[in-house]
Amino acid sequence: MYTHTSINTTEDKPTAIAVLTSGGDSPGMNPAIRGVVRAALHQGIKVFGVHKGYSGLIIGDMWEMDSASVTNIVQRGGTLLKSDRCQAFLDPAVRHQAAEVLLKKGIDSLVVIGGDGSLTGAHMLASESSIRVIGLPGTIDNDIYGTDDTIGFDTAVNTALDAIDKIRDTALSHECLFLVEVMGRNSGFIATHVGIACGAELVVIPEYEVEVDAISFQLANNRVQGKGSSGIIVVAEGPTPGLTYNLAKQLEQHGQRPKVCILGHIQRGGRPTGHDRVLASCLGAAAVDYLCGGYNDVMIGIKNGAIAETPLQHIIDKKKQLDAQLFEHVQLLHK
Ligand code: ADP
C-alpha cells in the first residue's frame, strides 16, 4: 500500500537502533514498534526497546529485542514499550546524558514514535548529538505537519463513531440534542472527520469561533424543515477543559436542552484498525530503511499516498492546516 522511492539501504547502516514511544499513546504504536524491530533484524541490525520514552532513555532502561518480542502485538492498542512525559528532557544537559547512554551501549540510531512534543525532543537530540534520529507521527490528533495521516487517527475516528452511532439511537428515541465531545485540543481533525462520518448536525472546532446564535438558529431551522428535534453536535475538546459544558449552558439560554457526552480517553485505546496497522507497520519498516540510507533528523510520514520524509525542524516550525472545504462539508452534507 505505502511505498517510498528507492533508498540505498547499504549507504550508512546503523550499528544498533533504539526505539521508543513517547507522549500520548495512540493505537498503532505497537505495529510501528514491530515494523522497526522486524525490519532492523532483517537488515542484521541489533535493536533495543526503550522503556517509558525519554524517561527510560536518560537512565538507560532498555533491552535488546528479538523477533519473538514483538509477536502477537500487531493487533493490540497502547504500547508494549510504555510511554511517558519527561519534563527533564527539556534540559540540554539531560539530552546530552541520553546521547551518552546510547553511545556507551553501542547504539548510534534512535526511532521516536510520538506526537509533536516527542518529535520536538527528537529534533533536539539529533541536532545536539551524533545520534541519528528518525521520528514517526504517533498521535490520534492527526495534527502533525509533513504527513497526511498519523498513526492512531483512523482508530480514534472509528472509536468515536462507534459511540456516536449508539448515542444517535437515544437521541432519536428521546428526540433530544446531544453535544458529543471528542479529543482535539488545538485542532479539529478528529471532530471534522467524525462529524462527516456520523452525519452530525454541526461540528465545533478550535479553528473557528463558536457562534451560539448561529447554532441555535440552525437547530430551530431543522425543526421547521421537519428534521425533528434530535441531533448530534460534535465538539472538539479545545484548549480549556469544560468547553462543551459551557456551550451546553449557552444553548440552554437559547431555549435548547442539550445533553452532554464526553468520550474522553476511550478514543486513545482499543485495537488499531486495519488502516492504522498497515500505516504503522510500513512507517516502522521505512524508518529503518531511511536510517540505513543515511537519513537523520527527519520524520517519515505519508504525502499523497506515498512514504516521504520531512525535516523535524519543519514539524516544529509549521502548523498543519485543516482543509476548510472538509469542514464546510459537514454542513453541506447535513442540508
Ligand atoms: P506528544 O508527543 O504526544 O505531543 P508531549 O507534548 O507531552 O506529547 O511531549 C512528550 C515528551 O516529549 C515530553 O514529555 C518531553 O519529554 C518531550 N518534549 C516535548 N517538548 C520538548 C522540547 N521542546 N524539547 C525537548 N523535549 C521535548
Report how far apart, in Å, the C-alpha atoms of 14 and of each of 130, 263, 301, 307, 325 are: 12, 42, 21, 21, 43
Nearest CA to ligand 1 atom 21: 121
Nearest CA to ligand 1 atom 8: 23
Neighbouring C-alpha atoms within 13 Å toward the C-beta of 9? 15
Interior/surface letters 117-154, b for 16+ CB within 10 angstroms, e for the rest: bbbbbbbbbbeebebbbbbbbbbbbbbbbbbbbbbbbb
Cell 444553548, located at residue: 251
Q: Encode the chain (335 residues) as per-residue pLDDT tens digits.
A: 677 766 766 668 999 999 999 999 999 999 999 999 999 999 999 999 999 999 999 999 999 999 999 999 999 999 999 999 999 999 999 999 999 999 999 999 999 999 999 999 999 999 999 999 999 999 999 999 999 999 999 999 999 999 999 999 999 999 999 999 999 999 999 999 999 999 999 999 999 988 888 888 877 777 767 666 679 999 999 999 999 999 999 999 988 899 999 999 999 999 999 999 999 999 999 999 999 999 999 999 999 999 999 999 999 999 999 988 888 887 777 66
Task: Give helix then strand counts, H and E, for the chain.
Answer: 11, 11
24 Cα: distance to centroid of ligand 1 (angstroms): 10
- CATH class of the domain at 16-152+272-317: alpha beta
- Residues tagged active-site: 141
Domain with CATH 3.40.50.460 in the chain: 154-268
Instruction: Give the pLDDT of residue 291.
Output: 97
Give the Cα separation of 220 and 68 in Å (integer).
59
Residues forming beta bridges with residue 232, ordered by sequence position:
178
270 Cα: distance to centroid of ligand 1 (angstroms): 23
Q: pTM of the entire structure?
A: 0.95
Q: Which CATH superfamily is domain 154-268 in?
A: Phosphofructokinase domain (3.40.50.460)
Instruction: Give the pLDDT of residue 66.
Output: 98
Give the Cα separation of 201 and 179 in Å (integer).
10
121 lines ligand 1 (CB under 6 A): yes
Contact between 36 and 68 under an 8 Å Cβ cutoff? The reply is: no
Domain with CATH 3.40.50.450 in the chain: 16-152+272-317
Write down the H helix ranges in the chain: 29-42, 53-59, 92-104, 116-128, 153-174, 189-198, 212-224, 243-253, 274-292, 312-317, 324-334
Instruction: Give the pLDDT of residue 87.
Output: 98
Instruction: Give the pLDDT of residue 188.
Output: 96
86 lines ligand 1 (CB under 6 A): yes
Instruction: Give the pLDDT of residue 10.
Output: 65
139 lines ligand 1 (CB under 6 A): yes
Quick one: which atom of ligand 1 is closest to the CA of 119?
A: 2
User: Closest Cα to residue 281, out of 31, 5, 1?
Assistant: 31
90 lines ligand 1 (CB under 6 A): yes
55 lines ligand 1 (CB under 6 A): no
35 lines ligand 1 (CB under 6 A): no
The H or E element that residue 262 is part of is strand 259-262
Cell 519534563, located at residue: 87
Quick one: which atom of ligand 1 is closest to the CA of 55?
A: 16
23 Cα: distance to centroid of ligand 1 (angstroms): 6
